[in-house]
Amino acid sequence: MKEATPFAGEPKRTGWPQPMVGYHVDEAGDWVAELACGHCQHIRHQPPWINRPWVTTQQGREAMLGQTLVCRKCELGAPRDWCLPTEDPIIER
Ligand SMILES: [Zn+2]
């Protein structure tokens, strides 16, 4: 596993780095990153604690696709919590 370098402004936390593969907006109007592992993570821009000015623009978001976010849910072993529109829903047996 290669070392992941958090990008500028990203708070340090423990977890597994996962590339962002898409975005959506939740009911509250907050941007949510869809990670390759199947988990979602809010990507709020709340300076000075969280500096993600890129999330406020379409161009910025597109430029950040493929960058990694540290996924706490992976560390916790949480079930995946989103479905790509192109994917079939997960059916629990
Ligand atoms: Zn994850």
3-state secondary structure at position 73: helix
pLDDT of 93 > 60? The answer is: no
CA distance 56 to 92: 35
Q: What's the pLDDT tens digit per position in 35-56?
A: 999 999 999 998 998 899 999 9
Longest dimension (CA), the chain: 44
How many Å apart are CA 14 and CA 16, to the nearest integer?
Answer: 7
pLDDT, residue 9, reads 65
Percent of the chain with pLDDT over 70: 73
Ligand 1: centre distance to CA 74 (Å): 4
Poorest-pLDDT segment among 7-11, 58-62, 85-89: 85-89
> How far is the centre of ligand 1, averaged over its atoms, from the C-alpha of 72 (Å)?
7
> Of 60, 8, 9, 69, which Cα lies nearest the Cα of 33?
69
State which residues have CB under 5 angstroms from ligand 1, the bound ion: 37, 39, 71, 73-74
Task: For residues 20 and 59, give the distance between their C-alpha atoms in angstroms, rounded to a whole number.
Answer: 15
Distance 62 CA to ligand 1 centre (A): 20
Mean pLDDT of 15-37: 91
- Ligand 1 centre to CA of 37 (Å) is 5
